[in-house]
Amino acid sequence: MNEKEAYKKHYVAIIGGSISGSEAANLLAESGFRVVVFDMNKLPYGKIEDGLPNWHVNLRNRQIKAIDAKLDHPNIRFIPNTTIGEDIDFLDLVKNWGFSAIILANGAWEDRKLPIPGIEKFLDKELVYQNSFIYWFNHKHEYDYLGKNYFIKDNTVVIGGGLASLDVVKIVMIELVKKQLFLNKGIDVDMFTLEKYGIKQILEEHQVSFEELNLKKAKLVYRRTAKDMPLKTPKDNSKESIELAQKTSEKLLNKYMEKYLFEFVPLSMPVGFTEKNDRLTGVVLQRVVVEDGRVIPQENDFFELKTEMLISSIGSLPKQLNGLEYEYSALKMKHKTDYHVSGFENVFAIGNAVTGKGNIQESKRHGKQMTKIIIDKHLTEDAFEKWLTDLNNEITSKVQNQINTIIFEIAQKPVQPEEIIDKILTKTANIHKRLRYTDYKSWVKQHLPVRLEDELKNKANCKCQ
């Protein structure tokens, strides 16, 4: 029996099917292992589909094509709409399903909670978190969308400080200006045009001043300064590299503000709120100073920003599963390894499941350096794609190294008896039957959502007829 034939006796479960999960699944499948990929969503694209604003059309489509190519493999069974920890208990999966190994590749979908006591009572009313907000923005145009709906308010306040928070404040301003241009001036400009050229340029082209829109600019609140924003990673720890990265971050933020017409409130941290008739009316901020890298609140130095909508964009975490040990936001791993989960012999973790870091600006620390083009082009599609492709390539490379080591470990384990394999096949087949799932390609074709860019093209074609 050759090596691949021996591996076929092993079934491996992977939780999460996006960049890390699909890469791991394909490597295992190509090595001869049989793999079951569980994903909580209908489709396995993770934040490529639901975490990046949908103006990244070409980037999204290329990433999706790459994931499809990896998961559409005869040795891989894709199990959609199945959340481990809810639909299937994690410890039950470990102890009773019979997998030789379980690999955690779940993305970071849990928003860090805004550290304001009592603020959660406004959740999904005046308080919105980043992940649900961008999910709504990406899917609200779909005819069968049944998720949460948000109505962006004038004078919105965004709490954040990285690339994800810049995406959020861009969405706010683009949506508000788009609506007011149409209502006040009868000018119909699509989201893609406003994002590409910027609000300032579009208003100038139509000879409309911002004041004529009767809008108040959104405000981005950060506890540090513009130069401290993690938009550019220093090449090394030298003073020169750090200063260059700080200047670059400051320049990038200023270009964003000029292009999308929002305001920046630095050196401020949220500590409280004001309300009236059970509705949020404002956020209370405390001024801070930064000394030796530490944020130090200033005693009795508070101010209020009036707002009817507060969006928190302070980071994302992987969802914690009962039965696993965690250290702060990250999984507890075995000593001197970066892939073997503490407390188990056959549970491994890769990607965000290890780092506990989920949103783009945090993940950037593991990617390539941003280049000058990003500053000059205001993070245009090409520049952003280069950066994210570099990041994904680095993630893929790391996953490959981790999986090669994991393959060696799994291969040393005794193979499952036929009755165990039959049980895995029966359980997964029952889920497929319930979901009316036949094969990967057919499922993706059936459930891929209607794209906003396609709707706009159809609308334009109708106008021309």
Angle 311-312-318 from CA coordinates, rounded to 5°: 135
CA pair distance 179, 433, nearest whole angstrom: 44
Residue 361: its pLDDT value, please? 32
Give 330-353 pLDDT, tens digit per residue: 788 886 566 788 999 889 888 776
**DSSP type of residue 297:** E
For 18-39, the pLDDT digits (tens) are: 988 999 999 999 988 999 999 9
Instruction: Lay out the sheet containing 268-276: strands in order across.
Output: 268-276, 279-291, 294-306
Contact 20, 8 (CB under 8 A): no
Which residue type, as a one-letter code, is found at position 121? K
Could you read off the pLDDT of 285-325 as tens digits, one per residue?
Answer: 999 999 988 999 999 999 999 999 999 999 888 888 999 99
Burial class (CB in 10 A: 0-12, 13-18, 19+), 320: middle
Rg (CA), the chain: 24
What ranges do the domains of the chain cover?
A: 3-110+317-456, 113-312
Tell me what pLDDT residue 356 has: 54
Predicted pLDDT of residue 215: 96
Type and span of the H or E element at 273: strand 268-276
Q: What is the pLDDT of residue 156?
A: 97
d(CA 8, CA 277): 63
Instruction: Answer yes or no: CATH 3.50.50.60 is held by domain 113-312.
Output: yes
Measured distance CA(232)–CA(20) in Å, rounded: 24
Helix pair angle (130-139, 163-185), 10° resolution = 50
Topology, domain 3-110+317-456: Rossmann fold (3.40.50)
- pLDDT tens-digit series, residues 349-390: 887 766 555 433 333 232 222 222 223 333 445 555 665 666
Phi/psi of residue 150, nearest 5 degrees: -125, 145
Spatial neighbors of 150 by CB under 8 A, at least 6 apart, are 124, 128, 132, 133, 136
What is the C-alpha to C-alpha distance for residues 439 and 228, in angstroms, rounded to an integer?
Answer: 48
pLDDT of residue 267: 97
| pLDDT for the residue numbered 398 | 76
Query: pLDDT per residue over 48-82, tens digit each?
Result: 899 889 998 888 999 999 999 999 999 999 999 99
Q: pTM here?
A: 0.85
